[in-house]
Amino acid sequence: MDAATLTYDTLGFGEFEDFPETSEPVWILGKEFNALTEKDDILSDVTSRLWFTYRKNFPPIGGTGPTSDTGWGCMLRCGQMILGEALVCRHLGRDWRWVRGQPPRGEYIGILNAFLDKKDSYYSLHQIAQMGVGEGKSIGQWYGPNTVAQVLKKLTVFDSWSRLAVHVAMDNTVVMKEIKQLCMPWLDYGGAACAEPPGWMPTHNGCLEGACALAEEETALWKPLVLLIPLRLGLSDINKAYIETLKQCFQLPQSLGVIGGKPNSAHYFIGYVGEELIYLDPHTTQSAVEPCEDSQVPDDTYHCQHPPCRMHICEIDPSVAVGFFCRTEDDFDDWCMRIRKLSHTRGSLPMFELVDCQPSHFACSVDVLNLTPDEAGIQSEVRCGQARCTTDKAPFKGNFPDVRGDRVHDFSDRLERFFDSEDEEFEILSL
């Protein structure tokens, strides 16, 4: 893999295919463009996304570890990109544009500082890799989409400036009650205030300019939500029944894109045109960046300044994580409404369930992480036929039917992922 890695100095526009001349709409993270009349706008939008790639010559991870992530850090970089997009939406807004050479805003510098390759940056490669060590992933080991999502969830706890609520929706199910409680922890289930939101003093990753512009009341009622949904959309290849649903996710205004790619080669997908996915590729090795004496960050290498890469949607690995950002409760309610509409789209299958509360078949009185497969089978027999849940459609009893209608599964199916030692993409991290 190292031999095939590009370096930034060798990149040139001629090495990348130009954007296609097509009348089909181009969708980039919830924005629609016309490729015939808005090509410059498309490229400006893509260039404005944060582009995190392999780096070299950074301080050793853990003091004695590697000084480059070439060949192993692509999924970690994709995790940085999807979270970076969330921070841009949080602090700068989706319509913000990066202009080369233009004096940057303080919030932008604060975001970049959070991802610099050094141990004291919130979301640096060092932090992600070392948090993974605590979860059984050695430094240099490849991550799957779920693993990096779980690690990012843990790291955001320390970011008091952004004050994000990160939810990783497991088992192909988004539970609205869980998210409301996460984003409004000071409210009880009935919606009454049970405590004043805790006071907080925003820090800005070493750059205080612009931090005071964030009004405290902005997050007093709702902590901005980053929703990550790890999914398996097929066995070895993507099930074509999910293709339209996956494409429609890029049309949602809350879209943060998708992290996935090909086996052991991760990409950050930000949109599509026709049957091709548009993505940012982290497989370029660049030198680590050091802030200037005035705390400014040389940022040219953090933006992809050539036409974006594309691949046919059928080539994507079925193991992905889909991301969404909801700044306010209204944004989340709007997302729920749109997802419900998508679930009724003819000719496609929903990729995940949206339910009001945790289905009873999720709950169990035993510690599933400590069960053996045989014990899990016994538990499923005991519970079979006893599950009861109300989804957004109707209540029912008995074996819990999959909303896609293609199979019926019981409690043992829900436990299967815990005992699948060969699928690292769905390794469950301890909380």
What pLDDT, on the 0 to 100 scale, is given for residue 340? Answer: 93
Neighbours of 276 (CB within 10 A): 18
Q: Which residues are paired to 231 by β-bridges?
A: 320
Task: Give the type of residue at 49.
Answer: R
Distance CA 221, CA 196 (A): 10
What pLDDT, on the 0 to 100 scale, is given for residue 304? Answer: 94
Per-residue pLDDT of 77-104, as tens digits, reads 999 999 999 999 999 999 999 999 888 8
Closest CA to 126 of 184, 68, 48: 68
Angle at 395 between CA 389 and CA 400, to 5 degrees: 55
Q: Are 249 and 258 in contact (CB under 8 A)?
A: yes
State the residue for tokens 């999910």.
Answer: 242
Distance CA 357, CA 415 (A): 19
State the number of CA atoms in the 13 A half-sphere of 81 facing the CB: 35
Catalytic residue among 283, 326, 361, 410, which?
A: 283
Q: Are 349 and 241 in contact (CB under 8 A)?
A: yes
Q: Are 148 and 78 in contact (CB under 8 A)?
A: yes
Q: Is 283 one of the catalytic residues?
A: yes
Distance CA 241, CA 349 (A): 6
Angle at 49 between CA 44 and CA 53, to 5 degrees: 125
Task: Give the type of residue at 72.
Answer: W
Q: Are 255 and 245 in contact (CB under 8 A)?
A: no
Q: Which residues are paired to 232 by β-bridges?
A: 319
State the residue for tokens 């369930």.
Answer: 353
Ranges of the chain with pLDDT below 50:
1-15, 195-204, 206-216, 364-431
What pLDDT, on the 0 to 100 scale, is given for residue 263? Answer: 74
What pLDDT, on the 0 to 100 scale, is given for residue 220? Answer: 67
- Residue 329 contacts by C-beta under 8 Å, 6 or more apart in sequence? 180, 183, 184, 221, 222
What pLDDT, on the 0 to 100 scale, is given for residue 193? Answer: 52
Q: Are 289 and 10 in contact (CB under 8 A)?
A: no
Dihedrals phi, psi of 147, to nearest 5 degrees: -60, -45
**pTM exceeds 0.95 for this model:** no
Catalytic residue among 45, 69, 159, 281, which?
A: 281
Q: Is 390 helix (H, G, I), strand (E, B) or coil?
A: strand
Dihedrals phi, psi of 418, to nearest 5 degrees: -65, -25
Distance CA 226, CA 89 (A): 11
Q: Is 74 one of the catalytic residues?
A: yes
Distance CA 376, CA 373 (A): 5
Q: Is 89 one of the catalytic residues?
A: no
CA distances (Å), origin 46, targets 42, 268, 301: 6, 12, 14
Catalytic residue among 74, 89, 207, 304, which?
A: 74
Q: Are 211 and 203 in contact (CB under 8 A)?
A: yes
Q: Are 286 and 103 in contact (CB under 8 A)?
A: no
Q: Are 81 and 49 in contact (CB under 8 A)?
A: yes
Task: Give the type of residue at 1.
Answer: M
Q: Are 304 and 51 in contact (CB under 8 A)?
A: yes
| Torsion, CA 27, CA 272, CA 249, CA 99, rounded to 10 | -50
Distance CA 283, CA 267 (A): 9
What pLDDT, on the 0 to 100 scale, is given for residue 83? Answer: 98
Q: Is 43 helix (H, G, I), strand (E, B) or coil?
A: helix
Enter the tokens of residue 332. Answer: 């989340």
